[in-house]
A and B are shown apart, each in its own frame.
Chain A
Amino acid sequence: MSAPRINWGWWAMTGVLGALMVFTLFPFYWALVSSFTPDAALFRDPSLWPREIILDHYRALFDERDFFTPIRNSLIVAGTTTLFCLTVGTLAAYALARLEFRGKAAIMAFILAVTMFPQISIVSPLYLLLRSLRLIDTYPGLIMPYMTFAMPLTVWVLTGSIRQIPRDLEEAAHVDGATRRQSFTRILLPLAVPSLATTGILTFIYCWNEFLFALSFTLGPERQTVPVAIALFRGQYQVPWGQILAAAVIATAPVAAMVLLFQRRIVQGLTAGAVKG
């Protein structure tokens, strides 16, 4: 909307925006406060301000429940998938963004279509496949299925990003005598580093958050990832909300930090893939 500012409009907008901010941040705040509240007090007359702060839940997470393991598992799976997809995906994205060959449109359509796959549709065959390869409850047993969404996502976003780098520069490099490989490594790659980082972050986030495959293809706490571990927290008599919330806070904190630091990048990456068509 343009310049003429009607005062009441501005106030209304700010008011609604404020309300939305509260709505957005409240669950985190509440989880944080509750994670410091002893079990007994959790549902008894809850108050918006913390009455007491204890660290029992956090301690229990690591001492009694070994929360380190799921974190380690998530890191390994998400990290490996991301690295692999970035490497292979960059090559494919370069080809799709810079080279002319027949079938390019079909490939792009295909990749787009795969991102639309409902995961549930391939859970059972993947399960049977992994079982026959004895990969159930292993790292490769998660990394491989994760490629189904990580690879198309990576290629799609990277292709969009590379397209935004002007061709002029590589053409100038070619005229100056650089071979295709030289122009790729010396000109394109350095300029594509921000996009690579962004795509990497996006892919990592998607892998970290994945639930269905992790749930289906792991059997026990040794290989479960963070989302699965949290969802399956069982208490002796009741749902251990204190610990669940503590785990939620821990699961959220690094993500929140990444988002705060890289929000501009993330936004660019998301929209480079999506809106450009």
Chain B
Amino acid sequence: MRSEARLGWMLVAPALGVIALIAIFPLGWTFWESLHLHELRMPWLGKPFVGAGNYVEIAKDPRFWSALGHTAFFTFVSISLELLIGLFLALAMNRAFRGRGFVRAAVLVPWAIPTVVAALLWRFIFESQGGIANELLVNVGILDQPIVWFIRTWTAWIPVILADVWKTTPFVALLLLAGLQNIDLTLYEAAAVDGANPWWQLRHITLPLLKPAILVTLIFRTLDGFRVFDLIYVLTGGGPGTTTEPVALYTFNALLQNLRFGYGSALSVVIFSVTFGIALLYVKGLGVKLAGDER
């Protein structure tokens, strides 16, 4: 019915309008800015059109490539750990046991608090002088003396990744749990009757049937990983130096510290393209049905 279509569009319009105004329009602006030279610190230069100039500079910018590498490294390591632990948590939470509600809630709290608070908690734990991490490790004998975690790059990554895993594994576990609950229990019963042990069931029933959920989780987590900002801003500030700086932080610095709006915008566009590309890849791979299919 035509009136249904009209009503549909009318109802969707406000939400779409807001999104378009607040998200699309600025995005277009960013793209436009990226084609210009715009140094707020040097207003006498004006705002000349430089086409792909900024992008060329990015391609030659070693700090950018390092940032990209940091981001990729962080994302990869975090996701792997989160998937493993998350899968375990999901499997454990799938059966009913006493205290399951408590476990679920406890595991959710890290997800629910602000990232900056999480980062501060972990920064506090890993403080070199008298931080509890050092204390425990030395007391237990794993370390001879306290480490100054944030002074060296590879030791600085440890609290960062730990904090991220701590904070987002719950989300991963939840998504996987939902996928698990969609698996027909009678499949396991049939397998048990046929003589399959739990390992076999895990490998041949659970994991294959969990693939869609795992893929969805991978999409969300990869995108989140590439956009990481809050965590590193507070934990290491990108340091030591710029050795833990992810692309988002680099862009932030370029924009709001160095006030290089043109260049920063180009960086923004690059980040956007990368995340969009990743999302597209995943979505194509999944063949996600977006409009629903209920009739």
Contact = CB atoms under 8 A, between A and B. Distances in A.
Q: Do A and B come from one complex?
A: yes
Interface of A: 1-4, 6, 9, 13, 16-17, 20-21, 23-25, 27-28, 30-31, 34, 42-46, 48, 88-89, 91-92, 94-97, 99-105, 107-114, 116-129, 144-145, 147-148, 151-152, 155, 163, 167, 180, 205, 208-212, 216, 226-228, 230-231, 241, 244-245, 248, 251-252, 255-256, 258-260, 263-264, 266-267, 270-271, 274-275, 277
A256 B112 contact: yes
B230 interface: yes
A49 B89 CA distance: 29
Given A1-B188, A16-B88, A227 B166 contact: no
B11 interface: yes
Contact of A124 (B33, B191, B288): B33
CB-based closest 5 A-B pairs: A43-B130, A2-B188, A271-B178, A101-B5, A125-B29
Contacts of B226: 118
B253 to A, nearest CB: 11
Residue in B124, B223, B271 with the greatest tally of chain A CB atoms within 10 Å: B124
Interface stretch (B56-64, B72-80, B113-121, B147-155): B113-121
22 contacts: A17-B103, A20-B85, A21-B103, A24-B106, A92-B15, A101-B5, A101-B8, A120-B248, A120-B268, A120-B271, A122-B27, A124-B261, A124-B265, A124-B268, A129-B29, A147-B18, A163-B294, A241-B127, A252-B113, A256-B112, A271-B177, A275-B182
Contacts of A209: 112-115
B161 interface: no
B166 A231 contact: no
Contact of A129 (B26, B124, B269): B26
Interface residues of B, number: 105
Contacts of A266: 108
A121 B113 contact: no
Interface in B197-256: 197-198, 201-202, 206, 212-213, 216, 220, 223, 226-227, 229-230, 233-234, 248, 251-252, 255-256
Q: Tell me what chain A mostly uses at the interface: helix, strand, loop, or mixed.
A: helix
A243 to B, nearest CB: 11
A150 B92 CA distance: 32
Contacts of A44: 130
